[in-house]
Structure 1
Amino acid sequence: MAAANGIWAVIPAAGRGTRFGGDIPKQYLEVAGRPLIAHALDALLAHPAIAGAVVALAADDARWPGWTLLHGKPLLRCQGGGERADSVLAALRAIPAHVDGGGLVLVHDAARPNLRGGDIDRLVAAAAQHGDGALLAAPVRDTLKRADEQGRVAGTEPRERLWRALTPQAFRRDALVAALESARAAGVVVTDEAMAMERVGAKPLLVEGREDNLKVTTPADLALARYLLSQ
């Protein structure tokens, strides 16, 4: 699928990364000599299916390098919001007007630096055939425990048919905008784009992705990302 098909990517990167700790927003932490967000953008814009990308940044972001072109493709920026969904919505609205609103858009985490082209291939192919969109995900393989209020085991949860949601997630742009606007109007904070689509009755397709497409959330994740990207 060529870039001329107009598939754009959006990257919400307005967060402070407070769960990680430290003064540097986690998307700017360095791995293999480059910030996490640079690796994420490289993976997307190096792929032939992607025509361009929009990054949603905090209003006071002084660390953004000012990139406007990557792999010969446009890289735009916009002002994000307080929640992930606000940033995604702002980025979707910042995609150039000539891009077909019924076309696919990919939403990817800025702190997922180890995305592989094969996963993008499978995701785009699945979403193109499935009207409700698709998302990369990984089946839950660990045994799951439910805790009580004292932190003791209250039970074991069945893991069959449970998946961990990853990114990118791929949906038709106009449908995703409408779903995010609906959630906002209802006062619902959605934690990923698939959740917004589910609220309006969609059933996105789960596409098994690589387990090493990790999101850097803790210092241990950062150490693992450094190892993976050094290989």
Structure 2
Amino acid sequence: MSYTVASPSFQPRCYALVPCAGVGERAGVGGPKQYHAVAGQAVVAHTLAALQAVPRLTATLVVLSPEDAAFERHTPHFTGEGAWVARVGGASRAESVANGLQELLARGAQPHDWVLVHDAARCLLRPEWVDRLIAACDDDEVGGLLALPLADTLKAAAPGAHGEPRAQQTVDRTAKWAAQTPQMFRLGLLQPALVSALSDPVKAAAVTDEASAIEMLGHTPRLVTGDFENIKLTWPGDFALAERLLSTRA
């Protein structure tokens, strides 16, 4: 899939899109994890502060559930001309991002503009990591994502006699990377990639991030070295780690 090449004089803009419509059930924090307090602020408030500190971003769009009535209370500093909110979240991350892309188009974004999709729960994000991704992908034909080459030995698990997980096989970690966010693609490429994937239940189930939808079209996103601190808060212990890291940052 391709799109019309922009004129040489066209300077694409960069938008951040933060899907924030999930409930975070695995986190075990008694509610949506994006609103759990870490180091004095809601998780998503830290995330948005980092994105708002990136000069290259024209605006940041947060995609919420239509029923969300808590966002503004937890993010009092998310204000200004480039602070956008849309309650158009879907049943899955892919649906929320696809709906968010449509919202960006309605607000004036163009197919050649870049969209950087970032997890609301990656609240340790630093602006310089976003700058690194933009610099690496700005001239790339496809786009790319922050990621880290795997360092740990990987095990394929199988249930034991009592249902406990047991190591069945060691998986070759050569050339394997752990995907992070932001993930940066042109709006005119990412939107049809997601629409195509969502039209097929099998493909939709396999879309765990934006890059996977791009890969389904035969493209190869660029891997840009991320940072070990750029963790996604998923399990209860992640919140304690984020608290320590945020509290000790200069």
TM-score by length of 2: 0.86
Q: 1:89 aligns with which of 91, 94, 98?
A: 98
Q: Does 1:123 align with 2:140?
A: no
Which contiguous aligned blocks of 4+ residues in structure 1 show a shift greater than 3 angstroms? 66-72
Q: CA deviation at 1:72?
A: 5.2
Q: CA deviation at 1:21?
A: 2.3
Map 1:24-173 onto structure 2 (within 5 A): 24-65=31-72, 70=79, 73-95=82-104, 96-150=106-160, 151-173=165-187
The one of 12, 21, 29 equivalent to 1:14 is 21
Alpha-carbon spacing, 1:133–1:219, altered in 2? closer, same or farther (3 Å): same
Q: CA deviation at 1:5?
A: 5.0
Q: Structure 2: how far apart are the matches of 1:167 and 1:118?
A: 13
RMSD, aligned CA: 1.7
1:137 counterpart SS class: strand
CA separation in 2, counterparts of 1:97 and 1:56?
14
Which stretch shifts more, 81-90 or 116-125?
116-125
Query: Rg bigger for which structure?
Result: 2
Q: Deviations over 1:65-85 (max 9, x none)?
A: 176953652323232011000
Quote the Cα distance in structure 1 between the aligned partners of 2:176 and 2:47.
Answer: 26
Give the partner amino acid of 1:106.
L
Contact 2:20-2:63 at 8 Å conserved across structures: yes
Structure 2 gap ranges (5+): 1-10
Pair 1:184-2:198 in alignment: yes
Say whether 1:193 aligns with 2:210.
Answer: yes
* Residues 89-142 of structure 1: per-residue CA shift (max 9 Å, x gap): 111111144222211110000011111122111111122121111000011100
Query: Structure 2 vs 1, CA of residues 112 and 69 (structure 1 numbering), >3 Å: closer, same or farther?
Result: closer
1:224–1:69 distance in 2 versus 1, CA, 3 Å: closer
Q: Structure 1: which 5+ runs fail to align?
A: none
CA distance in structure 2 between the partners assigned to 1:84 and 1:146 by the alignment: 26
Tell me the distance in 1 between the aligned counterparts of 2:112 and 2:210. Answer: 16
TM-score, structure 1 length as denominator? 0.93
The alpha carbon displacement at 1:36 in A equals: 0.6
In the comparison of the two structures, how many residue pairs are matched? 228
CA contact (8 A) 1:137 1:206 kept: yes
Q: Does the 8 A contact of 1:9 with 1:107 survive in 2?
A: yes
Change (3 A) 1:69 1:29: closer
Q: Percent identity?
A: 42
CA contact (8 A) 2:89 2:95 kept: yes
For structure 1, which segment, 106-115 or 72-81, has the greater mean C-alpha deviation from structure 2 after superposition? 72-81
